[in-house]
Amino acid sequence: MSATSRVAHSDPLGVLRNGDIEIVGRMPYSSNATFLVKIFVDEVEQCQAIYKPLKGEQPLWDFEPGLFRREVAAYELSEALGFDLVPPTVVRDGPFGEGSVQWFIEANPELHYFTFIEDHPETHDQLRLMAIFDIVANNTDRKGGHVLLDSNGHIWGIDHGVCFSADFKLRTVIWDFATEKLSADHLSALEVISQQVPLRVATLLNAEEVEALKERVEWLLENKVLPYDPSGRRVPWPLL
């Protein structure tokens, strides 16, 4: 099932791209300007969304401006893999200029990766997909709170602005599946992008980042296992 059907709307990307945006407020605890917004079509509210404008980004030494494009690339990569892990996300203009707009996922903030791994074994197959996704995307900031569970029991990953570096910078809390062998389904999904990174992903990255993505996929296909971290240092801070 695709992410577009899981958000219970026939055309979520169309709503996000073309609806009118109304700012609700700024999200707390975000280093960059991040806004909760409402999206209207023909004056009818269709959804809430998260809007991250370029103008609100703090400069980083290791990522060029335009982190919002990486948010969209993460969605497109999840779709290309068939993993359904990232809420529908688009690039568009908004009240503070160009940025990403992502479908808002209603979730209990008290639940996060660590509660899922301990108390919700039914989520573990989806968390394995997220572990694979984070390696392919080279996620440098997979905190426990960036893993959400919706009311239908579906796992979502959010906050992908610092993914896809050409240098391997993986930092994640998802190490519980390290050394596990990849399944035939996992390998088939990776094969899809092993030869050609989809244009809808590649056009949002630079050439070095695309080549590095292919190399990470090739490593997974060759080794057929989820890697482990012998240093114990490849984790974000704070963990949540």
Q: Given a cut of 60, is residue 40 above it in pLDDT?
A: yes
What local confidence, expressed as pLDDT, does residue 66 receive? 96
Q: Residue 105 gets which letter from DSSP?
A: P
**Under 8 Å between Cβ of 88 and 16:** yes
pTM of the model: 0.95
* pLDDT over 80 (residue 28): yes
Distance CA(15)–CA(110), nearest Å, equals 29
Ordered strands of the 44-53 beta sheet: 20-26, 35-41, 44-53, 97-103, 89-94
Name the one residue in this structure whose structure tokens are 């401006």: 65
Query: What value does the mean pLDDT take over residues 171-199?
Result: 96
Q: Which residues pair with 39 in a beta bridge?
A: 21, 47
| Local structure of 16: helix, strand or coil | helix
pLDDT at 23 over 90: yes
What pLDDT is attached to residue 2?
Answer: 41
Kindly state the tokens that stand for 167: 């240098």
Question: What is the pLDDT, as a whole number, of residue 5?
Answer: 43
Average pLDDT of the chain to the nearest whole number: 95
Query: What does the pLDDT read at residue 117?
Result: 97
Check residue 146 and give its pLDDT.
97
**Backbone φ/ψ region at 159: left (φ over 0), alpha (ψ -120 to 50), beta:** left
Pair of tokens at residue 90: 């688009």
Q: How far is CA 44 from CA 41, 48, 80, 91, in A?
A: 5, 12, 31, 22
pLDDT over 70 for what percent of the chain? 97
pLDDT at position 1 over 60: no
Structure tokens at 83: 């993993």
Other CB atoms within 10 A of residue 87 CB: 26
Q: Which residues of 204-221 are buried (b: 16+ CB within 10 A; e: fewer)?
A: bbeeebbebbbebbeebe
Which of the four pLDDT bands, split at 50, 70 and 90, describes residue 3?
very low
Mean pLDDT of 188-213: 95
Binned at pLDDT 50, 70 and 90, residue 97 comes out as: very high
Count of all residues that appear for the chain in the document:
240
Please count the other Cβ atoms lying within 10 Å of the Cβ belonging to residue 142.
Answer: 27
How many CB atoms neighbour CB 8 within 10 A?
10
Residue-level pLDDT at 9? 81
Torsion of CA 24, 25, 28, 31, to 10 degrees: 110
Could you tell me if 100 and 90 are in contact, meaning their C-beta atoms sit under 8 angstroms apart?
yes
Overall average pLDDT of the 174-195 stretch: 96
Average pLDDT over residues 112-138: 97
Give the three-state DSSP class for 159. coil
Domain map of the chain by residue range? 3-103, 113-223
